[in-house]
């Protein structure tokens, strides 16, 4: 993208119209569906909160069903909602109205990795699903990829119906090893991109987990997503004490997406034609694993207006 074509962003203050009596400390993840509904997964009494495009509250669900360690939310191509809860060691699939469809992992039963419950450096081995999973992505054939996570060092691949196909990864910093696999995205060609947060890199794999390459020009990447309507761009979020700006994730709806700045406030904010610390990568040459995707149609024929929906975390520590 030429310098003159760069998108500028600005925050829409007061977008979220939180109902009276509702509070949320942290917004751990954000997702947008094909009807422009915005889904927040929060760490509080109302885990999943849904707004329309203008910030009007629609509903909430999941009360009493999640721990206070919700971590990620993802809208699948069929409109179902995947929610990651690293406190309960599960990933669950719901309808948009909150009806449970499928549970991956065993509730409150972490896999045996040697993790001491506090320090990711204590992980001794990779193991099965899950020990504090982090995020979800769906491949072009419907396969489910899950990063796992704070207490493991693996990526798990499931069939669309939830059968485990394979897992890969071990503790470490070599190719195919992980030190906190935190975010994940799959491009239109099926390549799997994993944010290896504490190794300051994004590793790239084949659909079946073969190591292909990595990007190292990043600090503590938390999440990654692709702009299918502007195929020369991808966006990533960075976080934590080693980055000049504290950046968190946004998630993909029918429009382009990026990352969000975590400014230490309690607010959820919507940015339209957004700004702040985006790093925009040019399309890499063929042989450097380009990441072109197919455009996704906008809901109801809406014009393509770049928007970013951003969630903030208060906790500035490493375990977030």
Q: Is residue 294 part of a domain?
A: no
Torsion of CA 271, 66, 142, 182, to 10 degrees: 60
Does a structural domain hold residue 293?
no
Please give the tally of structural domains in the chain: 1
Q: Check if the beta carbon of residue 51 is closer than 8 Å to that of residue 14.
A: no
**Domain containing residue 244: CATH number:** 2.120.10.30
**In this structure, is residue 292 part of a structural domain?**
no
Q: Is 173 a domain residue?
A: yes
Q: How far apart are CA 73 and CA 29, in angstroms?
A: 6
The pTM of this model reads 0.79
Residue 194 lies in a domain: yes
Whether residue 127 is contained in a domain is answered as: no
Domain that holds residue 144: 9-113+132-283+301-310
Q: Is residue 93 part of a domain?
A: yes
Buried b (16+ CB within 10 A) or exposed e, 191-214: bbbbbbbbbbbbbbbebebeeeeb
**Residuewise pLDDT in 10s, the chain (320 residues):** 444 456 677 888 889 999 999 988 789 999 999 999 999 999 999 999 999 999 999 999 999 999 999 999 999 999 999 999 999 999 999 999 999 999 999 999 999 999 999 999 999 999 999 999 999 999 999 999 999 999 999 999 999 999 999 999 999 999 999 999 999 999 989 999 999 999 999 999 999 999 999 999 888 999 888 765 554 455 556 665 444 333 333 333 333 333 333 333 233 334 332 222 333 333 333 222 222 222 233 333 333 445 666 666 655 555 66
51 lies in some domain: yes
State the pairing for strand pair 269-272/10-12: antiparallel
């Amino acid at each position: 993208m030429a310098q003159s074509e760069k998108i500028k962003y600005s925050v829409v203050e007061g977008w979220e119209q939180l109902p009276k009596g509702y509070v949320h400390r942290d917004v751990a993840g954000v997702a947008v569906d094909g009807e422009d509904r915005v889904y927040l997964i929060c760490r509080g009494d109302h885990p999943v909160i849904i707004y329309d495009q203008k910030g009007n509250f629609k509903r909430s669900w999941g009360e009493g069903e999640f721990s206070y360690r919700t971590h990620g939310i993802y809208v699948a191509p069929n409109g179902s909602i995947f929610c990651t809860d690293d406190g309960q060691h599960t990933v669950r699939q719901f309808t948009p109205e909150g009806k449970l469809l499928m549970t991956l992992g065993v509730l409150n039963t972490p896999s045996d990795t040697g993790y001491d419950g506090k320090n990711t450096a204590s992980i001794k081995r990779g193991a099965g699903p899950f020990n504090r999973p982090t995020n979800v992505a769906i491949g072009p054939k419907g396969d489910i990829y899950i990063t796992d996570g704070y207490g493991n060092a693996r990526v798990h691949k499931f069939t669309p119906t939830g059968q485990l196909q394979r897992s890969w990864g071990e503790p470490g910093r070599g190719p195919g090893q992980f030190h906190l696999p935190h975010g994940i995205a799959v491009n239109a060609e099926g390549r799997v991109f994993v944010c290896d947060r504490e190794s300051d890199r994004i590793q790239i794999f084949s659909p079946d987990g073969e190591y292909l390459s990595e990007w190292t020009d990043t600090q503590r990447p938390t999440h990654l997503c692709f702009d299918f309507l502007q195929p020369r761009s991808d966006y990533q979020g960075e976080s934590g004490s080693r980055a000049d700006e504290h950046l968190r994730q946004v998630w993909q709806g029918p429009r382009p997406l990026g990352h969000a700045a975590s400014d230490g406030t309690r607010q959820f904010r919507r940015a339209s034609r957004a700004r702040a610390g985006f790093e925009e990568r040019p399309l890499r040459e063929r042989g450097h694993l380009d990441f072109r995707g197919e455009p996704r149609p906008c809901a109801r024929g809406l014009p393509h207006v770049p928007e970013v929906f951003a969630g903030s975390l208060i906790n500035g520590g490493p375990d977030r």
